[in-house]
Amino acid sequence: MKKIFLVRHAKSSGSFPELKDIERPLSKRGTLDAREMSGRLAARKVQVDCIITGPARRARKTAKWMAVALGIDKKNIIVKKKLYPGEAGELREVLKDQLKKNDNVLLVGHNPGLSDFAEELGGKSLHEMPTSAVAALEVKNKDATALKKSCAHIAFYDFPQNRKH
C-alpha cells in the first residue's frame, strides 16, 4: 500500500519585511515545531523513500528537518518549482510522478492547496492545516497514481499543538 505524508511547512518569520515571500526563513517557533513533528514521525517509525518540497526557504528547511529525523539522504530531497505556492492540481501532478517510482512519499507544501488536497484525497475535512501539521494517507486504489477524491484513508493527522500524539 502506498503512503503519502502531507506536511505543511513550519511557521515562517515575519521579522524580515524586506524579503520576498519565497525567501522567508523559519521563525524560532517554526524551527522548534519542525523538529518536534519530525521527531514524532520518527517515533512512529515512518519510512519514506523521498521528500518533495517547493523552492520556498521555509518549506526547504522543513524538508531538511524531516530528512534528518527520518534518515533520508539529502539527494532524496526533490525540489519542485510548481509546489510554490502549490495548488491541489500541482500537488497531484508531482505526487503522481513520484508514486510511479516510490511507495512512501513525504511532500512539504503550503496552504490553502495542501489542506484542500489532503481533504480531497482523504474524503474528510481537516479544516486548515496549521503550520508543521502532518496528514498521513494510505492510498486505497490499486493504481496509486490515480489520486482521486476519497482515494485514501487518513491513517493519522498530527500537529504541534496536539498533545495526544
Give the pLDDT confidence of 75-128 residue by residue, as tens digits: 999 999 999 999 999 999 999 999 999 999 999 999 999 999 999 999 999 989
pTM, whole model, 2 decimals? 0.96
Band (pLDDT 50/70/90 cuts) for residue 142 is confident
pLDDT score at 164: 75
Distance separating alpha carbons of residues 26 and 32, to the nearest angstrom: 9
CA dist., res. 163 & res. 33, Å (int): 13
Q: Report all structural domains of the chain as residue ranges with CATH numbers, in order of start.
A: 3-12+22-158 (3.40.50.1240)
50-68 pLDDT, tens digit per residue, is 999 999 999 999 999 999 9
Could you give the CA distance from residue 84 to residue 92 in angstroms, rounded to a whole number?
13
What is the spatial distance between Cα 148 and Cα 141, in angstroms, rounded to a whole number?
9
Residue 43, pLDDT > 70, answer yes
C-beta atoms surrounding 21 within 10 Å: 12
- pLDDT on residue 146: 87
Provide the pLDDT for residue 165: 64
Higher-pLDDT residue of 165, 126: 126
- CB count within 10 Å of CB 1 equals 12
Whether the per-residue pLDDT at 144 is higher than 90: the answer is no
